[in-house]
Amino acid sequence: MPSRSLPTRTLREHTDVDQLKRQAKELLAAFRAGEAETTAEVTAHYRGADPATFALHDAQLVIARAYGFDSWPKLKAYVDGVSVAGLADAVRAGDMEKVRAMLAARPELAHMDMAEDNEHRALHYAVLDNNPEMVRVLMEHGADPFKGIWPHRDATSALAIATDRGYDQIVAIIDEALQRRRAEEAAVTAPPASYGPVTQAVISGSVDELTRLLDLGYDPDERRRLDDLDDVVYTWGEPLRMCAIVGKPELAEILLQRGADPNPSIYAASTPMFEAYRRGKGDMIAVLERYGGFADALVAGYFGLIDQARQMLADEAAGRLRPRTVPEGGTVAPRLLDCGADGGRPDIVRLALEHLDWPPGDARWHWNLMRPLGTHAEGDRDRYLECFRLMVERAGADAPGPSGRTILHDVCAGWPRKTSSAEERVALATILLDAGARLDRRDDLLKSTPLGWASRWGRTELVTLFLERGADPVEADAEPWATPRAWAAKMEHAAVLAVLC
C-alpha cells in the first residue's frame, strides 16, 4: 500500500479530547458541505471518502491521521496523558497500576524513545531504580533491553546497566523474557524487509518495477512516521537517497518526475545531494539540480565548499537565505560548525567560529566537539585534530554533555560503530588536558571518571596518560562497581589492570 500522508495539523499545548471532538464534528459538517479546503484534507487522509456516507467516526479517524496518529483511540490516549513521558513518570514513581493501564492502552510506549534527542526508554528508568517487577512488566510488553543511549549504546542498554551494577535479579528477568521471545519467534523464517518497496526497486535497479509501483500510487518519497518516537516525526526521501548511493541517476529522474522531493528530510541520515557529493557523482548532482536540489549547509560544511558557505552566511544576514539550507529553526553558523568539524574542514570551522558568540562551557559546544572523534586516514588526521583544537580554544575543556559526560569521557569510548586509534585518542586527550580538562568528573549513567571510562573500554594508553596527569587509580569515593579497577576486571582488560596496580 502507498505510504501514509504527512500530518496536516499540529497539536496545540493543553489540547483536550473535547476540543478534538469539536474539530471532528466541524470537519464532518464542512466535508458534507463540500468546502474545498476540508475536502482536500479528508482526501489526503481517507481515500475514497464519500460525503453521502461519511460519518462522525470517519471524521475522527481523519482528525487522528491529520495529527499523525493511526487511530482516534491512540490520539485520544495521547491527549489524555498516555504518552511515553507519562509512562516514564509512572515508572520512576513506581506506580505499577498506572504503568499497566498505560501499556494496555498503548503497548507501543514500551519500545519508544523519550524524544528525538533523548534515547532513554522506560526500561532504562526501571533498571536505574533497581525495580525488578517494573522491569518484568515492561519486558512483557516488548521492551528492548539491548537498546542503548546515543552515542555509547553498547554501554548504556538496560541490560548492560543492570549487568554492570550487579542487579542480578533484573538480569535474570530480562534473560527469561528474551528466552520466551526467542521461542515465540522461532517459527519466523524471514525477517521483514528493512526498506520499503520503492527503495527496494531502486536497489535492484529495476526501471520496470519502480515504474509499476509509482503507477500503482506508491509514494516516490516513501514517507513514514517513526515508530519509536511518541512525537509526530516523519521521514521521507530514502528512495532518492538510495539512487545516489547505488549510482542510478536514471532512476532518480523517474522519481523526481513523479514528484519526489529533491531536498528531502531523512531521519538521522544523509541527503541525496550529500551522497552524490560524497561519491563524486556529477551526473547525479546534475539530475538533482534540474529538479531544484541544491547543496545545503550540510554539504557545504562537510565537503569544505568555503565560497558557498560564505554566501550562505551573507544570505542569512540579508534575510534571503534559501529555505532548507539549514534544518527548520536553525541558523547557518552552528550548522557549518557541526558539519565542518565532522568533515575535518578547519577553514569551515574557523569561518563558523567567527559568527558564533557561545561562551566557554556552553552545553552547545559538546555535540560539535564530538564530531572530529574517530579514526581517520593518516593524511586526514591533522585536519580533524586542528578542528578539535580550534573548538577547544573557544569552548574550554569541560563543556558539559548529556548524562553528565565531558568530552574527555567521549574520547575514551570513541564513536559508535567506529574504532579510534590509540594515537588519535592520546592526541585528543592531550589537547583537552593541556586546556585544563578535569579528571574527577563523573557521568550520570556509568558513574565514572574519564579514568573509569578508559578502564572500561580498555584504553591502556589513556589510563597511562591520565595517571601521569594525576588521576586517582583507587577512587575510594566511587561506587564499588564503577571504580577503574572494577571496570578493568569486569571487562577483562588485563593490560589496564597491570597499569592500575
368-416 pLDDT, tens digit per residue, is 999 999 888 889 999 999 999 999 999 999 999 999 999 999 999 976 5
Do residue 362 and residue 495 come from a single domain? yes
Distance CA 341, CA 350 (A): 10
Q: Which of 79, 104, 124 is the last residue in one of the domains? A: 79
Do residue 56 and residue 160 come from a single domain? no
Report the percentage of the chain scoring pLDDT > 70: 96
Q: Residue 391 sits in a domain of what CATH number?
A: 1.25.40.20
9-25 pLDDT, tens digit per residue, is 988 888 899 999 999 99
Which run of H or E residues covers position 225?
A: strand 224-225
Residue 4 has pLDDT above 60, yes or no: no
Do residue 492 and residue 377 come from a single domain? yes
Do residue 99 and residue 205 come from a single domain? no
What domain range is 388 assigned to?
Answer: 358-500
Do residue 412 and residue 282 come from a single domain? no
Do residue 216 and residue 165 come from a single domain? no
**Domain assignment of residue 369, yes or no:** yes
Do residue 379 and residue 454 come from a single domain? yes
Helix boundaries (H) for 55-95: 56-66, 72-79, 84-93
* Contacts (Cβ under 8 Å, ≥6 apart) of 137: 96, 99, 100, 103
How crowded is residue 15: how many other Cβ atoms within 10 Å of its Cβ? 15
Helix boundaries (H) for 165-230: 168-185, 197-204, 207-215
**Domain assignment of residue 495, yes or no:** yes
Do residue 266 and residue 381 come from a single domain? no
329-380 pLDDT, tens digit per residue, is 999 999 999 999 999 999 999 999 999 999 999 999 999 999 999 888 889 9
Do residue 370 and residue 484 come from a single domain? yes
Helix (H, G, I), strand (E, B) or coil at 438: coil
Number of domains into which the chain is organized: 4
Residue 166 has pLDDT above 90, yes or no: yes
Predicted TM-score (pTM) of the model is 0.85
268-309 pLDDT, tens digit per residue, is 899 999 999 999 999 999 999 999 999 999 999 999 999 999
Question: Residue 2's pLDDT is what?
Answer: 43
- What are the backbone angles phi and psi of residue 101, rounded to the nearest 5°? -65, -40
Do residue 64 and residue 121 come from a single domain? no
Distance CA 482, CA 387 (A): 32
Gyration radius (Cα) of the chain, Å: 26
60-118 pLDDT, tens digit per residue, is 999 999 998 888 988 998 898 899 999 999 999 999 999 999 999 899 999 999 999 99
Do residue 59 and residue 105 come from a single domain? no
**Domain assignment of residue 7, yes or no:** no
**Domain assignment of residue 318, yes or no:** no
**Domain assignment of residue 309, yes or no:** no
CA 59 to chain CA mean position, Å = 33
Do residue 287 and residue 262 come from a single domain? yes
Residue 497 has pLDDT above 80, yes or no: yes
Distance CA 449, CA 461 (A): 16
**Domain assignment of residue 336, yes or no:** no
Task: Cell numbers for 378, please give them.
Answer: 593518516
Provide the pLDDT confidence category of residue 437 given band limits of 50, 70 and 90.
Answer: very high
